[in-house]
């Protein structure tokens, strides 16, 4: 069962769980290399937080944050026997262009090519891969509204959106086999919407493209873990949501997702390895006795 782990490298001061930890290039590069050693197939580098209510970052500042990291990782990873790809998490074409020039080969655009009219043409001309994500509104507005975001049927609406953006990307010259789709867990959704998307993920898998899942350390996981509310640190930050991250990624694997965007690569890699072996029709590696 083939799947890929996308390790998150946030080069930001305000990301919801690790903001400021890897803001300088040497720290971010070291963190990226650590994630690669833990089993990441892709390193997703971002210089602008997309947490709810996050302030926008201008393109020059975003480039200042991410380009030295991408260049450094590209150089450091070039001698590794197993290839590790670099992804740039941006919705700005100018940032994506510089990132692709520095060694990135995948553009992860949370606006699905809607924010910058130059993005689709840039990705097509570069022959890069791209990830198209569903998000209602912007990171600044996506969770607003009385009672939170509302959908008649969240899976149907997300599926229609992804179909439309896939069609648009292909019409702009992006090769269909280079496109990944992300339902945008936590982006303009309530906890109930997130769970429904995970439960009915097979309906999105039916679109025939790799499905990216990004539940890592998100707040709805902490809210669901009610049995642990009295444990030390249970109500803490994103690092306390690892159990929920693992559970949702294993479930998503069973339902057909193939790319998992996570902060904690090593434990998720181990969990997915066991899950994949359980789901496989082939025998486990020889030498296993119990």
Q: What residues act catalytically?
A: 218, 261
Identify whether the C-beta of residue 280 lies closer than 8 Å to the C-beta of residue 254. Answer: no
Q: At what angle do helices 93-102 and 119-126 cross, to 10 degrees?
A: 20
Cβ within 8 Å of residue 69, ≥6 positions away: 9, 11, 25, 28, 29, 32, 45
Is residue 230 exposed (0-12), middle (13-18) or buried (19+ Cβ within 10 Å)? exposed
Tell me the residue length of the chain: 290
d(CA 96, CA 116): 11
Written as six digits, the tokens of 163 are 């179909």
State the Rg of the chain over Cα: 18
Identify whether the C-beta of residue 10 lies closer than 8 Å to the C-beta of residue 46. Answer: yes
The torsion angle over the Cα atoms of residues 236, 28, 249 and 187, rounded to 10 degrees, is 70
Q: Beta strands 179-182 and 129-133: pairing type?
A: parallel
Q: How far is CA 150 from CA 24, 190, 234, in A?
A: 39, 8, 29
Q: How many other C-beta atoms can be found within 10 angstroms of the C-beta atom of residue 26?
A: 11
Identify whether the C-beta of residue 46 lies closer than 8 Å to the C-beta of residue 90. Answer: yes
């Amino acid at each position: 069962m083939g799947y890929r782990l996308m390790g998150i490298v946030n080069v930001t001061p305000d990301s919801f769980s690790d903001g400021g930890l890897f803001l300088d290039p040497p720290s971010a590069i070291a963190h990226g290399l650590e994630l690669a050693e833990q089993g990441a197939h892709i390193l997703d580098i971002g210089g602008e937080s997309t947490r709810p209510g996050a302030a926008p970052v201008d393109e020059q500042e975003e480039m200042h944050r991410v380009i030295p990291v991408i260049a450094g990782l590209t150089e450091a990873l070039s001698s590794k026997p197993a290839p590790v790809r670099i992804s740039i998490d941006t919705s700005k074409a100018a940032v994506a262009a510089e990132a692709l020039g520095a060694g990135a080969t995948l553009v992860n655009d949370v606006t699905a090519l809607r924010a910058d009219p130059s993005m689709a043409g840039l990705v097509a001309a570069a022959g890069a891969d791209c990830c198209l994500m569903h998000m209602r509104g912007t990171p600044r507005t996506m969770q607003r509204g009385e009672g939170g975001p509302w959908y008649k049927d969240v899976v149907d609406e997300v599926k229609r959106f992804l179909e439309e953006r896939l069609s648009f990307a292909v019409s702009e010259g992006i090769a269909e086999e280079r496109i990944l789709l992300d339902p945008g867990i936590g982006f303009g959704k309530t906890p109930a919407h997130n769970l429904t998307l995970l439960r009915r993920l097979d309906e999105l898998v039916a679109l025939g493209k790799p499905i990216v899942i990004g539940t890592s350390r998100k707040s709805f996981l902490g809210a669901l873990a009610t049995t642990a509310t009295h444990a030390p640190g249970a109500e803490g930050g994103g690092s306390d949501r690892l159990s929920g991250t693992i559970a949702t990624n294993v479930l998503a694997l069973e339902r057909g997702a193939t790319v998992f965007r996570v902060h904690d690569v090593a434990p998720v890699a181990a969990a997915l390895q066991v899950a994949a072996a359980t789901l496989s029709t082939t025998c486990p590696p020889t030498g296993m006795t119990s």
